Amino acid sequence: MAILALGINHKTASIALREKLAFAPEQLPNLHRQLCQLPGVDEAVMLSTCNRSELYLAGTPSQQEVLSWLAKQHQLSLTELQACAYFYDDEQSLAHLAKVASGLDSLVLGEPQIFGQLKSAFAMALQTGTVQQELHPLFQSGFALAKQVRSQTAIGKHPVSVAYAAVSIATHIFSNLGACRALLVGAGETIELVAKHLVEKGVTDLTIANRTLARAEHLAQQFSAKPILLGELPDQLHLADIVISSTASQLPLIGKGMVETALSRRRRRPVFMVDIAVPRDIEPEVAELNDVFLYTVDDLQQVIERNQQTRVEAADQAVDIIDQGVHHFRAKRAERQAAEQLLELQQELQMRAKAQAKRHLKYLQRGQDADQVLPKLAQAVLQEMLHPAFVALRQGDDQQRQQIYQQLQQLLGLNLEQKGE
């Protein structure tokens, strides 16, 4: 059974393509089941974040068929998808998974959020029933390696993340963040990090908008913020100097018209907006408006690069840890596969031996002496087991016979040359 990892990420695909390929959370259980209906796909785990969409598959999956399925799901050109997709086979899929889980493959080197997102994706697949004997050890090994990287290197010791980068840009636009009002749209892990960084920078006037008020209230309590529903955005937008959005919405929540109205009510005071979501929460046309500073996740790259230099040496050390982990996984996987093969072989030989024993039992039942029957039984079993080898020895040429003879001795633990001496 083979393992295949494939996908696109921020390194290979534009934000426009990534948002087209993003999966809504409510779609995932059904999509997992659809994937496992494709020829050769026995197991599947899907990961969909703002920076990547990836599939981890086990069985005998076809790259072409899986890509065709992905393209059809999102009405994409197969050629366009092929141009930006990457593939990893077997143990290399573990290396990639571990790098993703530890943040080595992230837009922000070493960012921790992806680990939780991967664990959630794995839990979803487990619950759906699309994880079995191949992907389960793969993901457990990947998680263990990520934890090892975190504990043994400095990859996560510096506050560098998309959330941190967004707040960092705000400090360059506003001289005093403590005097700013911030509106955060969404209530997930990224927004929680944004709120944490804003509060650390002195922001005390926070509003959190979410689709469900209960989740907004839960997060708001941690930061003494005001919770509101998404439907209240048009009435609240003009109050915000800083707007940072990260939801799982499939359609924009903040349009150009809404922002124009807010700017009018603000008397053209500038507003700083960051759209971390994929698909985007804020219409791209908002960037055309004066007095608006709009950034997307791709725009944060320069800030991120300045803040991640301290993690580069740790990343080299992390790669060594992952390489060792992949070597260990390869050995363990080979042991498991060998054990499965040996079990199959043992079961087959036991079945044949039992059949011979059943045939010779008749002689005992007829009263024949066991001293006569048991040697015949042993001889019959031996002849049946070695018959294919005897045929090969008779049919091969001199060189082939010698090779087969030596291999048989090795497999049976014999050393007849020494015995002859």
Euclidean distance between CA atoms 215 and 220, whole angstroms: 8
Euclidean distance between CA atoms 29 and 180, whole angstroms: 41
Q: In terms of C-beta density within 10 A (0-12 exposed, 13-18 middle, 19 or more buried), how is residue 19 classed?
A: middle
Euclidean distance between CA atoms 391 and 170, whole angstroms: 80
DSSP 253-306: SB-HHHHHHHHHHTTT--EEEEE--SS-SB-GGGGGSTTEEEEEGGGGHHHHHH
Whether 50 is catalytic: yes
Report residue 161 as tokens: 């993340």
**Residues whose CB falls within 8 Å of the CB of residue 60, separated by 6 or more in sequence, listed in order:** 1, 2, 40
Element (H, E) at 198: helix 189-200
Contact 91/61 with Cβ under 8 angstroms?
no
Q: How far is CA 419 from CA 5, 238, 366, 414, 415, in A?
A: 52, 95, 40, 9, 7
Q: Residue 225 gets which letter from DSSP?
A: P
Element (H, E) at 2: strand 2-9
Active-site residue among 36, 50, 84, 180?
50
Q: How far is CA 241 from CA 176, 244, 261, in A?
A: 11, 10, 14
Residues with active-site annotation:
50
